[in-house]
Amino acid sequence: MAEVGGETTPDAFEVVDLKDWPLPMDDEPGVPAAGEYEFEHTRAWSRKIAAAEAFVFVTPQYNWGYPAALKNALDHLYREWAGKPALIVTYGGHGGDRCAEQLRQVCEGLHMTPIIAGPGLRLPRTRIEANTGEIDPAGEFAAHRDDLRQSLGALVAARRGT
Amino acid sequence: MAEVGGETTPDAFEVVDLKDWPLPMDDEPGVPAAGEYEFEHTRAWSRKIAAAEAFVFVTPQYNWGYPAALKNALDHLYREWAGKPALIVTYGGHGGDRCAEQLRQVCEGLHMTPIIAGPGLRLPRTRIEANTGEIDPAGEFAAHRDDLRQSLGALVAARRGT
């Protein structure tokens, strides 16, 4: 992250899509807090998360909670998350506020410093239920750009400990 | 369930271990609320849950939340859960109260009638962290038998709508 003209702007971020990280559920025999992983996919995931200084979780709300894939990715590790700020951005047909609050607790359980971004983004339910793929998330998020920018500023400040 | 000597006792229950139900994450192309499933494993899961009149969720608390495997099993279906009572029994090294509260919200999102059993059972953390398999869940739960019996009575009453 860097300051540009007084504004805080990320200059090194990476999109990590869980689709690209198929971590089998409950596969590791050890306790993640011990940090000893049997499988190479877990070790690779550990290196990826250990290398990051902060996180932005962009997640749907499913049935008033967080999705299994996100919880699975979180639960695979432990120390790699600790001491880092995390911004929680949620969306869904009913918004994402319950998911955000639940995820905040999980982030605290993993010793992150979580910040919830704004109210969860409410997507058009009729189009979700029609399941035609006609929702443009980038377009929906564009309307919330200023809120998200402000939240990102809070994340950067949290990382600096200010 | 049946009444025996004035007590409510389950006379037809089945243990469903999610280990025996490997449901891939986010595999179904459709929205679960539509009830149209592409894969036989989802259709089998649908039949299993549709056939039940009530549920007892016995779940660990991981990182102050519910485990991915449980959320994945819940999210695979929708109407099959609706209108049924659910008892939530949690346990973990820090107990399970945060998990129970989060899971209660999810059950409500799926239109169940959730009841939280108790405080979450606190298992010995040193033995969890040692990961030697020395914890005897049945033994730990035995000490809470009266509480659990009372909660089961509440579940039966909820099923009857009393």
CB contact under 8 A, B34 and A102: no
Q: Over A71-113, what HEC string results?
A: HHHHHCCCCCCCCCEEEEEEEEECECHHHHHHHHHHHHHCCCE
Q: Which chain B residues are Cβ-neighbours of A131 within 8 angstroms?
A: 29-31, 34
- Residue A29 C-alpha from the chain's centroid: 25
- For residue B151, the Cα-to-chain-centroid distance in whole angstroms is 13
Can you tell me whether residue A59 is helix, strand or coil?
strand
Residue that wins the pLDDT comparison between B130 and B91:
B91
CATH of B51-162, picked from 3.40.50.1820, 3.40.50.360, 3.40.50.12500, 3.40.1160.10, is 3.40.50.360
Q: What is the pLDDT of residues A65-109, one digit of tens each?
A: 999 999 999 999 999 999 999 999 999 999 999 999 999 999 999
Q: Is the pLDDT of residue B8 over 60?
A: no
B64 vs A30, A63, A109: nearest CB = A109
Residues A16-59: pLDDT tens digits? 999 999 999 989 999 999 999 999 999 999 999 999 999 999 99
Q: Which residues of A touch B33 (CB under 8 A)?
A: 129
Q: Which residues of B touch A63 (CB under 8 A)?
A: 74-75, 106, 109-110
CATH code: domain A54-162 is: 3.40.50.360
Of A68, A103, A131, the CB nearest to B30: A131
